[in-house]
Amino acid sequence: MASAKEHVEEIRRMKFSIGGETNPLTEDLHQAVKNLSAELYAKDVHVLMELIQNAEDNEYPEGVDPTLEFVITSKDITNTGAPATLLVFNNERGFSPKNVESICSVGRSTKKGLRKRGYIGEKGIGFKSVFLITSQPYIFSNGYKIRFNEKPCQQCNVGYIVPEWVEEDPTLFDIQSVYGLSTALPTTTLVLPLKSEKVKPVKDQLSTIHPEVLLFLSKIKRLSVREDNDDPRLNTVSAISISSEKNFVTLKSMDAEENVFSILKFIQYLGAHYIPSTDFVNQIKQGKWVRTSQGYMTPNNSVLSSNEWKAASQISKIPFIDKDYYGEEILSFKKELERLGVIVNFDESCYQLVSDNLKSSSSLTSLSSEAMLLLLRCIKKLRSSDKLVQAVKNKKCVKTNLGFRRPSECFLVTSEAKWGCLLHVFGSFPILDANFYGHSIFSMDKELKKIGVMVDFEDAAKEFTSIFKQQASASSIRKENVFSFLECYRKLKKKFPEELKKCIREEKWLKTKLGDYKRPNECLLFCSDWNAFLKRDDGPFIDEQFYGSRIKSYREELNHLGVITGINKGCQVIASYLNSQSNFEKINRLYNYLSEFKWEPADDDDDKKIWLPRGADNGEWVSPQDCVLHDKNNLFGGLLYVLDKYKYERKILGFFADIFNVKFHPSVDDYCNLWKKWEASGNQITHSECCAFWEFVVKNWNLKTEETFNQSFSKLPVSSSSSDGIFLSDKRDVFIGDDLFLTDLFQSCSRPTFVWYPQPSSKTLTRTKLVDIFNKLGVRTISESAQKTLSDVDQLKLAPISSKEKFRKKGLVKLILGFLADPNLNLETERRHEAVSRMLGLEAFETADPMIVKYSLSLSCGDVVTVEDKRMIRWDKQNSKLFVQKREEGGCQKSRIEHADHFGEVIAEGMLWENEEVMPQLSELIRLGYLVEFDEEAIDFLMKKKNLQIFVDDRQYLCSIFSS
C-alpha cells in the first residue's frame, strides 16, 4: 500500500498531469474550479458553523467523546506572513485516501447522503468554505500533510484543489507547541493562515459561539475556543470550554430558562428589525430544549396552554410548556413560540396530538361532556382512530341515566327514535344522558357506534331480546313490563326485527289461569263467546285476575303476537292441553268444543289420545287405534276399548270417528287378531262366539280379505260331540266331511276332526258358504284326502261265474256309452269303445267272504290314521278280473242298495281311472241302473232324464256286441 506522500504524488500526476502525461480533463477541472470560486464568494457562509457542522458529520472511534477545539494564534507557524493563524483540532477517525481524493475534487464528497441521517451542514460548499478566510489551508491527518492554494498551480493552472506535500512551515512540532506539549495531537488538524481582513471577523465569530450550540449537535460532546499569544494580555477572544455531560446539564438545570428567553428575545429582535431568522429557527427548532409537563420536548411537540385545551388535558397527556417553570412571561412570546413550531391554538391539526399523547385507558373513566365530545371529534377527524376506540370501549366513560357505563352497554336514543320506548320496558337499559352532553351528541352517532354505543333499532332490539329471554326464563316479567311492552308494540305498529319477533313468540312470558307462563301461541284470551263451551280454567287462558281487565284492550297486539283471540281459532291449543286432564266433565267440554269447531289434528300428530273414564276424576288415556265405537256381539272386550260402553254422547262418538279415525266396528284385522288370540289361548270358544265370528267372515269375504284370512288363520273350529264348546285345531288336520260314508268311518276314531258347522244352520251362515270358505282356507275334503287300499282276494275261495250274469248287460253298456259320449268329456269313439271292451273282457269270480278295503289319512305331525270297511265288489285291473261277493237271494233292501253302490263305484272307477273327477256321476248312474237290473226301457228313461244319448257309431258298436 502506497504511503500518504506517494498517494498525494499520484493524485498530482494522474489527475493534474504534474510530472506526467497531460490529462485531457485538466482544462475542464480549471473551468469547474472557476465556477466553484464564483459560487463560494456568492454565499453568506458562517465559516465557523460550517467547520462545526463538518465535525458533526465526521465519524469517531468507539469510546471517544467527539471533541472540537478552535485555537487562534498570532504566531505565523506557516511562514506565510499571515497576521494570525486559526488551528482546528478534531479527534475524528481521520482522513482516508478516499477522503483526500474527494477533497481534491469539485462537487464530490464522501459525506453525501448524510443529511438524510440527521446532518445539517452546507454540503455544496463543505471544506472549501475555508477559502473565505484563508488562501492556503493545511490538513494534517493520518500521515497526510498537505496544503491547498486558491491561486492556480503553475504546473497545471488549477487552484483550490491541487494538493501540495508539506515538509515544514509548519512542522508537527510547530503545531504541537501551539496545542500544548503535554497532550497528544488529535487525529486531524486544520491550519488556516488567516487573510488580514478576516482576522477580526473570525475572532468575532469565535467570541459569539454560545454553549447553546450543543443543543443542536448530536455527536460533539466537547467544544472549546481559546486564543494563544505569548502575551495573554493581547488575547481578545473569549475563551469557552463546554461539555454536554457537565456544563450543559448544569445549564439546563440552572439557567436554561434564561437561555430560552434569550432565544425568544433574539427571534423577537430579528423579527422587529426584519432580519431573516429562518436559518436560525430551523437550526434550533429540532432540539429538545423546551421544558413541558411531559419533559423536555422539541418546540413543534410543545403546546402553549390555554382554556381551549382544557378538554384535551382531561384525556391526553398534552406536553404543555411549563408555566410554573418559565412564569407568566412566557405568554408574551406567543408569536415567537409559534414561529418555532410551538402549538398555540387548538385546531383540527391538533386531533392527532391528542391521540398520540392519549392517557392510559384506566384514566379515561367518568369523562366530562367536553372531554367525551372532543374524543368523538378526534375519532371523526382522524384517518386512523383505532387507538382512541380501543382505549375507551371497555371503560365506564359514558354518562347515562344509570350513571357512567361502558360504551357497549349504552344506547343513543334521539327524540325521533320511536323504538326508544322498548328500552323503558324493563328500565334496565343505560341511555346516553342528552342533558349532560347537549344536543350535539346526536350528531356523533357514527363515532359513538365505533366505540360500541348502540345507536340503531336493530342493536337495541338485539339487547332487548337478550334481556327479555333472561327475564322470561326466570318467570320474572311483571304485568307492568307486559303492558309497557304491548304499548311500545302498538306504537311501533308491530314492526319488529325478525330476531325479536322470534324471541317474543317463542319465550314463555304470558301468565295463564293454569298458573304457569306460556308462549303467546299457547295462550287464549277469554271473552263471553267462550262461555257456551268452556270455563276459564278449562284451558291456558291469559290470567285476567293477574293482569286485570286492561289486558283485553291489547287484543289486537296480542293476536298479532300469536295469542288466540277468536273462539274458532283455539282448537290446536285446546287439543294440546287435552291429554293433561283427568276430570271427565272438563274433558267432555273440551271434546265438545273441538267437535263444534271441526278440529283436525296434524297428520304427524302421534299424541292423539282418548280418555276412558273410571269415575269422575279417574281413568286412562288410550290410543284411538285401540278403540272401536261399537261391538254388538261383545267379542272384543279384552282386545279393544269399546267406546259406546262409556258415557260419551253420540256427537262425541262421531267426533272420535271423524277426527281420531276410530272404527265404528271391528275391522278385518281386528277379527284376525281376535282369532289369533283365541288360537293362542288353547281354550274353547262358545257356539255364539263362533257363529258371530264366522258370520263376519262370510259377510266380509272377498278376494282382498281372502289372503288376509288365509295368512291369519292357522287353526279352524272343529265339532265335538263330547263338549258344548268349540275347539280350534290345526287346519292341516281338519277335514270337510263331503263323503258321509268316509266321515262316519273316520269319526269312529279320535284323531281326524271335521270342521264345525252351526247347528242348526242359519240364513246368514249356511253350510254351503262355510264349505266354500273352508276350502279356500286350505281345508281338504275327506274324500280327496283319504287313501284307499284293497286287500288281496283269497284265490282258493273263488268260483267262476258268467259275466253275462253280472255285467254283460245291454242296458249297462248302453248307459255307459251314453255317459261317455258327453261332449264335455271329449272322449273319441275309439276310446269310448276301448273302455267298454275292458269291462266286457273281465273274468268274473264269486266269493262267499266280503273283501276288505282300508282308508288312510296322513296328518301334519307325520302320523297316519287308518280305518277299514268291507266291500262286495272289486276290479283287478292288472289281471282283468272282477270279484263279486255272493249275495243271498231275497236279501234285505239295505244289502241290495249296498251292492248296487259298490258295483257302480267299482265299474265307474275301472272305466274312468283317467277322469277321476267325473267318476261319482257315472257311479251314480250305474247305481240307479243296477237297482232296475239295467232294464232297457228303464235305462232309456233314465238316459232321457239325464240328457244322455248314444251316437251312430256307439249304436253300431252296441249291436255288434249283442247281435245275438
Mean pLDDT of 893-920: 84
pLDDT exceeds 90 at position 35: no
Contact, 87 vs 192, CB < 8 A? yes
Mean pLDDT of 273-295: 81
pTM above 0.75, yes or no: no
- Lowest-pLDDT choice from 265-269, 465-469, 802-806: 802-806
By CB atoms closer than 10 A (0-12, 13-18, 19+), residue 961 is: middle
pLDDT at 212: 55
Residue owning grid cell 253420540: 650
pLDDT at 254: 32
pLDDT exceeds 60 at position 180: yes
Mean pLDDT of 139-148: 96
pLDDT at 929: 92
- Lowest-pLDDT choice from 266-275, 456-465, 678-687: 266-275
pLDDT at 512: 95
Mean pLDDT over the full length of the chain: 87
Where does the pLDDT of residue 124 fall: very low under 50, low under 70, confident under 90, or very high at 90 and above? very low
- Lowest-pLDDT choice from 102-116, 533-547, 620-634, 905-919: 102-116
Q: Output the CA torsion 642→643→644→645 (10° steps).
A: 70
Residues 6+ apart with CB under 8 A from 51: 68, 88, 130, 190
In 91-215, the DSSP E strands lie at: 138-141, 144-147, 164-165, 188-193
pLDDT at 602: 78
pLDDT tens-digit profile of 441-499?
999 999 999 999 999 999 899 999 999 999 999 999 999 999 999 999 999 887 888 89
pLDDT tens-digit profile of 396-430?
999 999 999 999 999 999 888 888 899 999 988 99
pLDDT tens-digit profile of 203-243?
988 887 765 566 556 789 999 999 998 888 888 887 777 77
Contact, 923 vs 904, CB < 8 A? yes
- Can you tell me the distance from the alpha carbon of 492 to that of 418, in angstroms, rounded to the nearest whole number? 7
- Lowest-pLDDT choice from 140-154, 529-543, 862-876, 885-899: 885-899
Residues 6+ apart with CB under 8 A from 716: 728, 729, 731, 734, 755, 756, 774, 777, 779
pLDDT exceeds 60 at position 964: no
pLDDT exceeds 50 at position 255: no
pLDDT exceeds 70 at position 160: yes
Longest alpha-carbon distance in the chain: 206
Q: Output the CA torsion 229→231→236→242 (10° steps).
A: 60
Where does the pLDDT of residue 251 fall: very low under 50, low under 70, confident under 90, or very high at 90 and above? very low
Where does the pLDDT of residue 323 fall: very low under 50, low under 70, confident under 90, or very high at 90 and above? very high
pLDDT at 271: 75
Instruction: Tell me, letter by letter, the H, E, C secondary structure of 176-197.
Output: HHHHCCCCCCCCEEEEEEECHH
The CA–CA distances, whole Å, from 20 to 15, 33, 155, 179, 518 equal 10, 21, 11, 39, 114
CA angle 137, 16, 41 (to 5 degrees): 40
Report the share of the chain in percent with pLDDT over 70: 91
Where does the pLDDT of residue 115 fall: very low under 50, low under 70, confident under 90, or very high at 90 and above? very low
pLDDT at 112: 47
pLDDT at 176: 95
Mean pLDDT of 103-122: 52
SS3 682: coil
pLDDT exceeds 70 at position 745: yes
pLDDT tens-digit profile of 566-607?
999 999 999 988 888 899 999 999 999 999 999 988 776 666
Mean pLDDT of 85-104: 95
Mean pLDDT of 276-296: 85
Which set of grid coordinates corresponds to residue 689? Answer: 262366539
SS3 396: coil
pLDDT at 282: 84
pLDDT at 751: 64
pLDDT at 149: 94
pLDDT exceeds 50 at position 739: yes
717 φ, ψ (degrees, to nearest 5)? -75, 140
pLDDT exceeds 80 at position 253: no
Query: Could you tell me which residue, 355 or 849, shows the higher pLDDT?
Result: 355
